[in-house]
Structure 1
């Protein structure tokens, strides 16, 4: 019986350490890439609303999101999901919305603009 308890404690410790390492990894990526300074607050809020709630992103903010880059977008989304305030969100759904938003940005940027 004691063996099961010890095993359970080890599993919890490993999972906790993994979560802490993931947080540090995302924070390090964000810091090393200056992710928090690459996007203006209005566009950051548009992107956040689009990914974590329901909303759309303006063409200007699509451009800023692409400048932010895939690595920064991914690290910021993952760090947000680690925040206890967002514990009720389904990570798979949020990550899928984040990828879809990114793909929409790339499609808009890559598409030729209509001629006047």
Structure 2
């Protein structure tokens, strides 16, 4: 019985360490790539409302998001899951919406604009 408790404690410790390492990894990616200041708060809010709600993201902010890069986009979304305010969200749904927002912006930026 005591070995089961020790095993349980080790599993919890391992999972906690992994979560802390993931947090540090995302924070490091965000810091090294200057992810938060490159896009600007208004566009970050637009991107996140398109992922966490049903609002759309403007062409201007899509362009900034694509320039920001997939690595920053993913790290910012993953870090959001670490925030206690968002702990009730379904990660699979949010990740799917995140990918959809990214792909929509990428397609918008890659498509040629109509000539005047």
Q: State TM-score, norm by structure 1.
A: 0.97
- The residue aligned with 1:80 is 80
**CA distances 1:51-90 after superposition (whole Å, capped 9, x unpaired):** 1122100111110111111000000000011111100001
State the Cα distance separating 1:34 from its structure 2 match.
Answer: 0.6
- The residue aligned with 2:50 is 50
Q: State TM-score, norm by structure 2.
A: 0.97
Structure 1: 4+ residue segments shifted above 6 A: none
Aligned alpha-carbon RMSD (Å): 0.8
Q: In the aligned structure 1, how far is the partner of 2:30 from the partner of 2:112?
A: 32
| Structure 2 residue runs without a partner (length 5+) | none
**CA distances 1:13-46 after superposition (whole Å, capped 9, x unpaired):** 0000000000000000001101111112111111
Aligned residues: 116
Q: In the aligned structure 2, how far is the partner of 1:16 from the partner of 1:63?
A: 37
State the Cα distance separating 1:114 from its structure 2 match.
Answer: 1.5
| Structure 1 residue runs without a partner (length 5+) | none
